Amino acid sequence: MSRSTLPAAAVLARPELAHSACPPRAMAAWNPGVRAAAGDTDNTISILDVIGYDWWTGEGVTAKRVAAGLRAIGEQDVVVNINSPGGDYFEGLAIYNLLREHKGRVTVKILGIAASAASVIAMAGDDVQIARAGFLMIHNCWVTTAGDRHALRETADWLEPFDATASDIFAVRTGIANKDIAAMNDKESWIGGAEAVEKGFADSLLSNDQINADPQQRERGERLRAERAVDNLGRLSGASRSEMRQLVQDLKRVTPGADDDHGKRDAADASGLQSLLDEMRAL
């Protein structure tokens, strides 16, 4: 389909009202070791992590990073590889808009999962391909907030048009009635590769030889998932940037090898970080 028929998405984050982050179920389902077998080329943008700023590396999958990648590519065709559990919904909408407005042809390849905010990004392709074992997960905008009943009502009212925008994007892409998409979002829907093609969320299935799930990345994946979960809890708690930076530095100090290259970190490091994560969840 032509991206020109897709609606633009309004982006209006309000961190003082609510914090958007990756849903825990999507984080648990994510396998960070899934990559494109061929690696990146000059016209590839890879979205292979949680959406939003990453406190561990100081980078992350942000609209700023994607915009820089698109500028470097110019008006050429672009391939967008996705394996992401989602994250900051509003950052995801901004990335969707950037891809929707790109001058060249956009091919989206869902290598593993495109959940939550990443599912909206995945819709911004002229051609959307998905692994047979891949998944899309769509749902209503997921945030955490705090306050009295008036503040909670304000948050719910503020979120409603964003849910409507996501439903509209999926409805235009698939041809499914908006009310039916809204019902799928209400109950959180996991859509497998073949079903995604059948229902119009994707155009075709990726061949197996285009995807690499390296078993050697298992330990790195466990640690990466734990790091992102700690980051996620920080966002959901409403921690400030300075508080998050301090938390990350504290965790690095008590986790041996935390400043080493990911490929050199051993399972003991991941286990130690997981123990800290479990303690945080128990608070």
**H/E segment holding residue 245:** helix 241-254
Residue 137: strand pairing partners:
115, 190
CA angle 190, 96, 36 (to 5 degrees): 65
Q: What is the CATH number of the domain that holds 154?
A: 3.90.226.10
Query: Is 178 in contact with 126 (CB distance < 8 Å)?
Result: no
Chain position carrying tokens 């633009």: 8
One domain for residues 111 and 248:
no
Instruction: Tell me whether residue 5 is in a domain.
Output: no
The number of beta carbons lying within 10 Å of the beta carbon of residue 104 is: 14
Out of 213, 235, 251, a domain closes at: 213
Q: Are residues 117 and 219 located together in one domain of the fold? A: no
Task: Check whether residue 134 and residue 83 sit in a common domain.
Answer: yes
Question: How many domains is the chain partitioned into structurally?
Answer: 2
Q: What share of the chain is helix, strand, coil (3-state, %, to 5)?
A: 50, 20, 30
List CB contacts of 86: < 8 A, sequence separation 6 or more.
22, 23, 26, 50, 51, 92, 115, 116, 117, 118, 119, 137
Burial class (CB in 10 A: 0-12, 13-18, 19+), 208: exposed
136 and 55 together in one domain: yes
CA-nearest of 9, 17, 7 to 157 is 17
Q: What was the pLDDT predicted at 223?
A: 73
- Amino acid occupying residue 51: I
Domain that holds residue 241: 215-282
Sort strands 106-115 and 135-138 into parallel, antiparallel or unpaired: parallel
The pLDDT value recorded for residue 5 is 84
Tokens of 47: 């979205």
Q: What is the pLDDT of residue 126?
A: 96
pLDDT the model gives residue 276: 52
- Shared domain for 67 and 163, answered yes or no, is yes
Tens place of pLDDT for every residue, the chain, 283 residues? 677 688 888 777 776 666 777 888 888 889 888 989 887 788 999 999 889 887 776 677 999 999 999 999 999 999 999 999 998 898 999 999 999 999 999 999 999 999 999 999 999 999 999 999 999 999 998 877 778 888 888 888 888 988 999 999 999 999 999 999 999 999 999 999 999 999 999 999 998 888 988 766 666 667 777 777 777 677 666 676 677 777 777 766 765 555 555 444 445 455 555 555 555 555 5
Interatomic CA distance for residues 279 and 283, integer angstroms: 7
At residue 86, the pLDDT reads 92
The rounded distance, in Å, linking the Cα atoms of 207 and 37 is 11
90 inside domain: yes
Strand partners, 143: 20
State the residue for tokens 């008036």: 150
> Which domain-ending residue is among 213, 238, 260?
213
